[in-house]
Chain A
């Protein structure tokens, strides 16, 4: 029978490395998925997973069972992802940005593309991608994180607040600002948004 999280955590807190390994095995894929959505890059996502569990290991004695272990580790992962994004923003601004837009299935993209002649569609798609990248780069890491968690991971504002360590109104504001930036950046090219 599988040991419960609580039992495994208690052993890990007592310094049992095998128990900690069990936690890594149980939660690393979830952390990876979140990290990938934040960075759009497998290597970066794995770096975040590694850093997350390294930080978790150092702080494991501070974990209290009031919140689920998953929420706790998500919070650490969010911080790592934000650190990495800050790092990228600062040092590697020219790096290619992630694709979060589903170009194939987007109604607005299709409507916009319908208005340009067929031979210009590639140019249109490239312009759209460029604008999405520009908007994503303009978002602060917190805004991006809040948007990814709300929109792509389907988490509630309450859960996001717990993950980012922000209150409800600050969390909402991060999401509002992210959506506003998207709208302002894409309105000119997605004509059906008007």
Chain B
């Protein structure tokens, strides 16, 4: 019999079926294979499960508290979700004013970050989260932007096919979001926060796609668009970065309180 392959040794180590029936017998008689098995054992025995820290007695209720508002969003049909969308509540002129304000905020944040020397000591907790701490205004604005983008995309992905006869609202909101996104992305890149910048980069591609989707989108095109959004996992990524920024913001807030 030929010597055992590494694959066969691994299966034997884990007691999994699938190797040759005479493999075990060979191992007993062949010193070469036996030595290789010992080495494999030494390697794999080194890997032990790390202790999993106890998430605390309130773990389940904490998870539920975070989860419940998200479930509400999933269940509500789109026409009942509409009044919650700030952009659509406002008359067109105020939409323009609001988006201009968002852009000004980003620009102010950018210049504030650049020209005002930061004399305050940087809180350690916030610094450990990201290589370069974004200015707090920017953190706030980007967090808000991610939240709005996420909500728009989540609605698009979650709504039933019959619920969405056309994309008029989504396209308009996506166009607004693309503009803000571009500014934030450039600022984050300049500030050296590469992970925020690259998530914004991916997000922008998706937003542009929504903004340019045909007005009379066919159910098939819509399905494909949704699948692309889901496949890229952009929603989850946006949530991760959004959460990170919120924690960063909370840490900054806490640090200020204690000063």
Contact = CB atoms under 8 A, between A and B. Distances in A.
A43 B46 CA distance: 26
Q: Is the contact region of chain A dominated by helix, strand, or loop, or is it mixed?
A: helix
Kindly state the interface size class of chain B when it binds its partner. 35 or more
B10 A176 contact: yes
B45 A106 contact: yes
B43 A42 contact: no
Contact of B60 (A25, A33, A111, A156): A25
A51 to B, nearest CB: 6
B46 A109 contact: yes
B67 interface: yes
A183 B50 CA distance: 20
A49 B14 contact: no
A62 interface: no
Q: Chain B at the A interface: mostly helix, strand, loop or mixed?
A: helix
Nearest to A178: B10
A26 to B, nearest CB: 9
Interface in A91-111: 91-92, 94, 98-102, 105-109, 111
Contact of B67 (A54, A94, A151, A168): A54
B98 interface: no
A50 B67 contact: yes
B7 A151 contact: no
Interface in B43-62: 43-50, 52-53, 55, 59-60, 62
A83 B236 contact: yes
Contact of A42 (B55, B60, B75): B55
Interface string B204-244: 00000000000000000000000000000100110110010
Contacts of B7: 172, 176
A108 B71 contact: no
Interface string A19-47: 01100110011001100110010110111
B46 A99 contact: no
A58 B243 contact: no
A186 B158 contact: no
A13 to B, nearest CB: 13
Given A33-B52, A57-B74, A58-B158, A92 B46 contact: no
